[in-house]
Structure 1
Amino acid sequence: MRVSFTKMHGLGNDFVVLDARAQDLPALDKARAAAIADRNTGIGCDQLIVLEPSDTADFRMRIYNHDGGEVGACGNATRAVALLHGSEARIETSGGLLVASPTAGGASVDMGEPRFDWDAIPLEYPMDTFSMPVSWEMLADPGAVNVGNPHVIFFVEDTDAVPLDRLGPEIENDSLFPERVNVNVATVENRGRIRLRVWERGAGLTRACGTGACATAVHAIRRKLVDSPVTVALPGGELEIAWQPGGSIRMTGPATESFRGSFEWDDFA
């Protein structure tokens, strides 16, 4: 069976998009998703995205990380599929309903309201998510936010000085986070700008993470370190994040279609 795909990226965070509305796809399991995402023997991507029909929205988006695990949200992918859709879209995800509108060169997305309760992150046991009394070497007193998937955020003097390639997987898989966690290390440069690096659960270091930018901006606003809207600068580029307490998060940034192609489904069994 030959399957068509679209390769896209948002700030270098790249996706293979499969449209199950336009073609019937067999069931996708973790092993096949990981095989497609493999950069050496597959097509290669940070996340595999599958678009499906929805009874409650314009379409449903399913998200599989590089390791094949399915997750609830991906901000960069949401901008990418909004660009692919070509008009405002209500998008069903397992992390909640998202609303995205194409803009010049990208999209603006209503990411919904953040959640802060310890069991919504989730954490293994009750804890104040505003300032968590935990640490991993130089990373201490983080906050935690769920924006469709779980994030822990550390503010540091220099994000580039943190060995995130080593500490990221340790924190991601700590027993404190029963569903694992995305790890954000941020430096507040001024009241309008944050520098950010992210270790994504199941994907590792990526050039950009839209939900990470949202979670980090929200936590910085809660701590009164920045004002809304705030620019979040990631290795792949910049996103604008706007949020007021009690409201939804608005993320705006670029997205790009790289190329289109097709593959034999059974090649990645």
Structure 2
Amino acid sequence: MRYTFYKYQGTGNDFVMIDNRDLHFPKNDTNLIEKLCDRRFGIGADGLILLENDESTDFRMVYYNSDGNESSMCGNGGRCLVAFAKQLGIIEAETTFIATDGLHFATISNENIVSLQMKDVDEVQQNDTHVFLNTGSPHHVQLVEDLHIFDVRNEGSKIRYSDLYGKAGSNVNFVSQTDENKFRLRTYERGVEDETLSCGTGATAVAIAMRATGKTNSSVIELQVEGGNLEVSFTEKNGFFTHVFLKGPATFVFKGEISVE
């Protein structure tokens, strides 16, 4: 089979995009998805995203991790899908779409800066060593020293597979504070099973966790990830976070075709 695809990246978090409005893509073929995401034998990506029709919104987002399995919400993937929808002529400057965690609203500028509304967060679990919360995907957030030399892959893997989170596991974020409302983070992503250059739901989780634990009083948080910079804003009242937005660039890389036996 021959598939037309589009490659996008959001602060280094990269995705294979496929227009599946005609439902031609074999969605249950885990091996195919894994092969397309393979960086040596395929296109190479952290995940694959299908854009599909939806009766009540502009489009539907179906997201797969690079291991081929359908996964929970991906913030950077959602932002890139908005840019993809604009490229396809489905939307112009704003949109609503449906994803696995529900309805999302987003805006996109002429420079392809996408501001994506994330789910509300009403529970932040604070522990002695870490914070846990769900921003569309589950996230462990932990402050560390010397983040630039921290062993994210090995330490993240230990936590992801630990008894803390059981079989489902969790994404793991390691964080250092650089200013009153600025934080640097590195993320180990489940499904990718490695560090990625950026994680949108992770950046969102870090911003909310830092506000919840009193590390910042700001409602607009700047996040430095390995692949660039993101901004998270929200409204907080009595520990309940609403109007949560993830903002950053969504960049088209290239379009191509691939034949897969």
TM-score by structure 1 length? 0.87
Q: Secondary structure at the match of 2:158?
A: helix
Where do residues 26-41 of structure 1 align in structure 2 (5 Å cutoff)?
26-41=26-41
Where do residues 208-223 of structure 1 align in structure 2 (5 Å cutoff)?
208-223=198-213
Return 5+ residue gaps in structure 1 as ranges. Answer: 118-128, 134-140
Provide the C-alpha distance between the structure 2 equivalents of 1:194 and 1:154, rounded to a whole number of angstroms: 12
State whether residues 20 and 50 of structure 1, in contact with CA within 8 Å, keep that contact through their aligned partners in structure 2.
yes
The equivalent residue for 1:138 is none
Return 5+ residue gaps in structure 2 as ranges. Answer: 87-91
1:229 aligns with 2:224: no
1:8 aligns with 2:8: yes
Provide the C-alpha distance between the structure 2 equivalents of 1:228 and 1:115, rounded to a whole number of angstroms: 16
Provide the C-alpha distance between the structure 2 equivalents of 1:254 and 1:107, rounded to a whole number of angstroms: 6
Q: What is the CA deviation profile of residues 224-247 of structure 1, one whole-angstrom value per residue up to 9, with x for unaligned ones?
A: 212120100001000011022231
State whether residues 114 and 248 of structure 1, in contact with CA within 8 Å, keep that contact through their aligned partners in structure 2.
no
State whether residues 92 and 98 of structure 1, in contact with CA within 8 Å, keep that contact through their aligned partners in structure 2.
yes
1:206 aligns with 2:196: yes
1:105 to 105, 109, 112: 112
Shift of 1:62: 1.1
Q: Secondary structure at the match of 2:243?
A: coil
State whether residues 114 and 147 of structure 1, in contact with CA within 8 Å, keep that contact through their aligned partners in structure 2.
yes
Q: What is the CA deviation profile of residues 170-196 of structure 1, one whole-angstrom value per residue up to 9, with x for unaligned ones?
A: 111123213111000000112120000
2:156 to 168, 180, 187: 168
1:91 to 97, 120, 135: 97
Provide the C-alpha distance between the structure 2 equivalents of 1:183 and 1:151, rounded to a whole number of angstroms: 6
2:250 to 243, 255, 263: 255
Q: Secondary structure at the match of 1:160?
A: helix
Bigger mean CA offset, 198-207 vs 84-93: 84-93
Counting matched residue pairs gives 247
Shift of 1:161: 3.3
Provide the C-alpha distance between the structure 2 equivalents of 1:198 and 1:217, rounded to a whole number of angstroms: 13
Q: Secondary structure at the match of 2:153?
A: helix
Shift of 1:263: 1.7
Q: What is the CA deviation profile of residues 114-149 of structure 1, one whole-angstrom value per residue up to 9, with x for unaligned ones?
A: 2427xxxxxxxxxxx122x5xxxxxxx100110111
Provide the C-alpha distance between the structure 2 equivalents of 1:248 and 1:83, rounded to a whole number of angstroms: 21
The equivalent residue for 2:68 is 68
Provide the C-alpha distance between the structure 2 equivalents of 1:175 and 1:32, rounded to a whole number of angstroms: 31
1:192 to 175, 181, 188: 181
2:231 to 231, 237, 240: 240
TM-score by structure 2 length? 0.90
Percent identical among aligned pairs is 33
State whether residues 62 and 72 of structure 1, in contact with CA within 8 Å, keep that contact through their aligned partners in structure 2.
no
Shift of 1:218: 0.4
The equivalent residue for 1:125 is none
Provide the C-alpha distance between the structure 2 equivalents of 1:113 and 1:250, rounded to a whole number of angstroms: 10
Provide the C-alpha distance between the structure 1 equivalents of 2:151 and 2:54, rounded to a whole number of angstroms: 41
Aligned Cα root-mean-square deviation (Å): 1.5
State whether residues 208 and 236 of structure 1, in contact with CA within 8 Å, keep that contact through their aligned partners in structure 2.
yes
State whether residues 4 and 258 of structure 2, in contact with CA within 8 Å, keep that contact through their aligned partners in structure 1.
yes
Where do residues 111-126 of structure 1 align in structure 2 (5 Å cutoff)?
111-116=118-123
Q: What is the CA deviation profile of residues 182-216 of structure 1, one whole-angstrom value per residue up to 9, with x for unaligned ones?
A: 00000011212000000011111111111100000
Shift of 1:29: 2.5
Provide the C-alpha distance between the structure 2 equivalents of 1:19 and 1:98, rounded to a whole number of angstroms: 19
Task: Report the residue type matching 1:249 in the other structure.
Answer: V
